[in-house]
Structures are given as structure tokens and as C-alpha cells.
Amino acid sequence: MTALATPAAVPLGQRPPMVDRLRASAVYVLMTVLGAGAFLYPFWLPSDALQSQAHAGDAPLVAAAVGALAVVAVAMELRRGTMTGATVALLGMLSALAGLMKLLDLPGGGSGLFFLVILAGAAFGPRFGMLLGLTSFAVAAVLSGGIGPWLPFQMLALGWMAAGAGWLGRATRRLPPWGEVVVLAAYGWVWGFVFGAILNLWFWPFQRGGELSWAPGMGLADTLRTYWSFYVATSLAWDAAGAFANAVILLIVGRPLMATLRRYADRLEPVAVLEPAT
């Protein structure tokens, strides 16, 4: 009889690039699934299991899990070579700048945080955009004192906004500059409503009393109908003003700022140098 050969461990540098890419993608997928679960799990709980305050007990756990996954994502990107020290430094700089822009109250309920995150996400891609959205709202909360159980949900919603802009930017980069800006402005207008609609879900299932509140055991159709009534009554006007402000700001500053961000994105893109065989 002959002994079966035991496969040797593959060194990290010799692993197929697809394996590391799939592992990095799994981190972002896990982050998205965790965030969606954090928003939606109250709808599956019985009434006696719901807390008196929205996410009073689990919000720190959600924030810790999302933060840990973001750190893991950056570490894996650095190991793969898709991010460098310069990319991480740029991520930190844009996060700090976006956090500062959140302090500016723009006319119509808009915020400078949104337009900058959309443009940067479109220029640098969905993964960079996801990380930028998460870190930007964390910085804004520290600067403004807005730390509370709502923070991880704001971070996740902004991360999804920026990641979506990254996917959109892969298509709009083939358009003329003004065409790309118009598309991104329309995206910012739509997300002015989507962002508000998503964020309401962090507290709405916990409200009790009134025709606009959700009740455990309510079917999907009734839940959607009730939530639409709640959204129209409480958030639609405010979100419409913010969406308009997003679109106007993107139209005004989008073209020159997008050209600058794309130029830096091209410079930071890893380049493979092919040398002739000797």
C-alpha cells in the first residue's frame, strides 16, 4: 500500500488571486447582510420581545460588528494590493472632510456629506465607497456629538449609498463629463428619498399607538401600506427638500470635483509592469 500524499499549505503570496478576491467580497457581503438584518429583525419579533427604546441594547453590538468588518476589509484590501497606504490615507482624508461637511446646514435640508460621498464613491469604486460611507458618518457623529443607537444605521445607509454610486460610476465614466454629472445628480436626488426611508426603519417598528404604527403580526401588504402613510406624513417633505439640494449641489460642483477625484483614482490604481524575459 502506498501512503496518500498530504497537500502542502499554499503560501499566501502563491494563492490564486480569485481566492483572495472572493474572501474580500465575502466581507462586504457579510457587512451588508448584517446591516439589513439589523434593520429588519424587529419585524419578526413578538410584541413582548421588543424593547421599550429602539435598539437600546443591540446598537453597540451592531456598531462593533460593522466597525470590525470594516477594519477586516481594509486589511484584506491592503494584503491583496488593491489598496495601498496612499489609498488608506485618502480614505481618511475624505472621511474627515465629509464629516466636517455634515456640520454645514445647507438650504432645503441638504448636506454636503451626501454629494461628496456620492462623487468619491463613483470615482473610486463600490468597495472604497462602502468604507467611505461608514467612516464619514462616524466622523460626523464624533464632531457633532450625534452618537446614539441610530449611528450604526446611519453609517450603513450612507455606506450603501456610496457603494451604489461606485457601481454606477463604472458605467458613467464612459459618458461625457456633463452626462456623468447629470446621472449622478439624478442618483443623489433619488437617494435623498431612499436614505430617509431606510433610516426610519431603525425606530419605526418600536413605535406603538396610532394608525401609522406597526403592530406585530401585521402582514407584508399592510406593513408596506402603513409605512408609506407614515413616511408621507412625517418624512416626505423633508426628504424632498434634501433630495433637491443634493441634485443642485452635484450639478454645480460635480464636473470639476469629479475630474479631480477620477485623476487621483487613476493614479492610485495598481499598475502591473511587464518586463521582458531574460
pLDDT, tens only, 200-218: 999 998 887 778 888 888 8
Please report the pLDDT score of residue 80 as a whole number: 84
CATH number of 226's domain: 1.10.1760.20
Task: Report if residue 10 sits inside a domain.
Answer: no
209: three-class secondary structure by DSSP: coil
In-domain check, residue 106: yes
* 27 within a domain of the structure (yes/no): yes
Residue with more model confidence, 45 or 253: 253
Cβ pair 101, 113 in contact under 8 A: yes
Per-residue confidence (pLDDT) for residue 47, from 0 to 100: 62
Burial zone of 197 (CB within 10 Å; 0-12 exposed, 13-18 middle, 19+ buried): middle
Question: Rounded to an integer, what distance in angstroms lies between the CA atom of residue 65 and that of residue 42?
Answer: 18
CA distances from 235 to 9, 228, 232 (A): 56, 10, 6
Angle formed by the axes of helices 112-124 and 151-172, nearest 10°: 50
Indicate whether 5 belongs to any domain.
no
Q: What is the SS3 assignment for 175?
A: coil
In angstroms, the CA 202 to CA 153 distance is 7
Instruction: Give me the number of domains the chain comprises.
Output: 1
Q: What is the rounded distance in angstroms from the CA atom of residue 224 to the CA atom of residue 203? A: 15
Task: Report residue 7's pLDDT band, with 50, 70 and 90 as the boundaries.
Answer: very low
Average pLDDT over residues 168-183: 92
Whether the CB-CB separation of 158 and 227 falls below 8 Å is answered with: no
CA distance 26 to 45: 28
Contact 252, 117 (CB under 8 A): no
Residue 201 to residue 182: CA distance in whole angstroms:
30
Nearest Cα neighbor of 90 from 40, 141, 39, 125 is 125
Residue 30, classified by CB atoms within 10 Å of its CB into exposed (0-12), middle (13-18) or buried (19+), is: middle
Q: Output the nine-digit C-alpha cell for 113.
A: 456629506
How is residue 215 written as a grid cell?
A: 403592530
Residue 244 is predicted with a pLDDT of 92
The secondary element (H helix, E strand) that includes residue 241 is helix 236-268
Q: What is the pLDDT of residues 95-117, one digit of tens each?
A: 999 988 888 776 655 677 899 99
Is residue 51 within 8 Å of residue 57, measured between CB atoms? yes
Report the pLDDT averaged over residues 38-54: 74
Q: Is residue 9 part of a domain?
A: no
| Domain carrying residue 259 | 17-267
Residue 65 is classified by DSSP as H
Nearest-angstrom CA–CA distance, 100 and 143: 7
Q: What is the pLDDT of residue 261?
A: 92
C-alpha cell at 259: 475630474
Domain-located, residue 278: no
Task: Over range 129-141, report the average pLDDT.
Answer: 93
Cβ atoms 221, 78 nearer than 8 A: no
Mean per-residue pLDDT, 246-256? 92
Task: Answer whether residue 1 is part of any domain.
Answer: no
* Residue 200 within a domain: yes
